Structure 1
Amino acid sequence: MTKPDDDLEYEKHGGFPVFEPADPGPGFGPFLASMRQLQDLAVSADPDGDTWVEAAARVDELVKLLAPFEAAEGVGPANRVPALPGAGSLLMPPYHVTQFDSDGVTLTVQFSRFHVGGNSAVHGGVLPLMFDSTFGMVIHATGRPISRTGFLHVDYRKVTPIDTPLTVRGWVREAQGRKCFVNAELRDPDGALLAEANGLMIRLLPGQP
């Protein structure tokens, strides 16, 4: 990011900490990929009762393995590895950034069984999450300081499919002092508009969380 010449508060980021990218080592990427597969199976598998008991026991073992290493926000690598899908966060759909500059951001994303709301369509509540994250990236890409979401409005134009490579694009529509109005859209491989969003991002004041 570059500091805007007229923004004397840029470096303060309100009271929000500045998280640096993480380098967790070669095992974290495969771990995330396996966890995404596990999420898909957790909502789609239909084994017998004994298999569920065994699966629960194996998950308990994984919890016991990782529990001693629980860390504070910004210390663990989740959401701090830009090279990994979803920046290394299981909360986010596995997106990849293809454009990140003053004109805005473009992402590719593919939703899976874990994100289904019904009838093989992506749950409507997942799309605001994707758009909100896109808005945050737009703020960074366009050189504005840390901001919080003031509002986010989504219009659903078509059913969003799973297992299909989609494109998300976000850009600044207008900026007024602390306020930044952002737009975003989600399109399928043929360019059809699936959903679009508009929102308000508000720059944090010094000390504001």
Structure 2
Amino acid sequence: MAEEADPTSVDPDYERHGGFPRFSPADPGPGFGEFVAGMRRLQDLAVSADPDDATWDVAAAKVAELVELLAPSQAGELVGPAGRSLKLPAAGSLLLPPWQITAFGPDGVALDVTFSRYHVGGNNAVHGGVLPLLFDTLFGMTIRAVRRPISRTAFLHVDYRKVTPIDVQLSARGWVREIDGRKTFVNAELRDPDGALLAEANGLMVRLLPHQP
């Protein structure tokens, strides 16, 4: 990812936006990457495994042990490495499908992204509600890439063109369509390996006023 511009250079009121966390990259040890990869696999199994009752009891006990191990280290927003580890898929966030940035600049953002069993809504197709999450994330990244001030999503509209498959590397792209004062109008699309359009989105990002969170 390209280095983030100093937010105050494009928005002098940055520090007054309700304490909006200032992003800084994290570089945790390899154990975190292995942990995230394992958790992604566990999420897939959590929605697809069908073992006997005894196996569920053992699995529940192991999860409880893991919760007990990590609970004392719980930290605030943008303190832990999740979402800030730029070398990992989706920057180490389990909220999002694993993506990797392929372009980041004034023309917008491009990603490679792969959905898995965890994201299925039915019939091995990605749940329709997952795609707005991807597009909203892409909109936020696009705002940063084009060096617009801190903005929040005012609206997001998605058109579904084809079924989105799992276990296939797809490409997503976001770009700015128009800027009007505090308003930034953004577009995005998701395509399969053959270039077929799976879904597209348009939205409005609005620059925060001083003291707005």
| TM-score normalised per structure 1 | 0.96
Q: Structure 1 CA distance, aligned partners of 2:170 and 2:16?
A: 32
* SS across alignment from 1:117: strand
* Percentage of matched positions with identical amino acids: 70
**More displaced, 6-15 or 172-181?**
6-15
- TM-fit CA distance, 1:207: 1.6
In the alignment, which residue of structure 2 is the partner of 1:198?
202
Q: How many residues are paired up?
A: 209
- TM-fit CA distance, 1:23: 1.7
Match of 1:14 among 12, 17, 21: 17
Match of 1:167 among 151, 165, 171: 171
- TM-fit CA distance, 1:9: 3.2
In the alignment, which residue of structure 2 is the partner of 1:180?
184
Q: Aligned in 2, Cα 1:62/1:7: closer, same or farther, shift over 3 Å?
A: closer
In the alignment, which residue of structure 2 is the partner of 1:29?
33
Asked whether 1:41 is paired with 2:14, we answer no
* SS across alignment from 1:100: strand
TM superposition outliers: structure 1 runs of 4+ over 3 Å: 1-4, 6-13
Unaligned residue ranges in structure 1 (runs of 5+): none
**Deviation per residue, 1:37-77 (Å, 9 max, x gap):** 00000000000010000000000000010011000111111
Q: Structure 1 CA distance, aligned partners of 2:137 and 2:26?
A: 19
Q: Structure 2 CA distance, aligned partners of 1:13 and 1:167?
A: 36
**Deviation per residue, 1:68-101 (Å, 9 max, x gap):** 1000111111111111111110001100001000
Q: Structure 1 CA distance, aligned partners of 2:179 and 2:86?
A: 26
Indicate the RMSD between aligned Cα atoms, in angstroms.
1.7
Unaligned residue ranges in structure 2 (runs of 5+): none
Q: Aligned in 2, Cα 1:8/1:100: closer, same or farther, shift over 3 Å?
A: closer
- TM-fit CA distance, 1:204: 0.8
Asked whether 1:106 is paired with 2:122, we answer no
Asked whether 1:97 is paired with 2:101, we answer yes
Residues 97, 114 of structure 2: 8 Å contact kept: yes
2:85 maps to amino acid: V
Residues 122, 159 of structure 1: 8 Å contact kept: yes
* SS across alignment from 2:200: strand
**Deviation per residue, 1:121-178 (Å, 9 max, x gap):** 0000000000000000000000111110000000000000000000000000000111
2:27 maps to amino acid: D
- TM-fit CA distance, 1:206: 1.5
Match of 1:207 among 184, 191, 211: 211
Q: Aligned in 2, Cα 1:20/1:7: closer, same or farther, shift over 3 Å?
A: closer
Residues 152, 197 of structure 1: 8 Å contact kept: yes
| TM-score normalised per structure 2 | 0.94
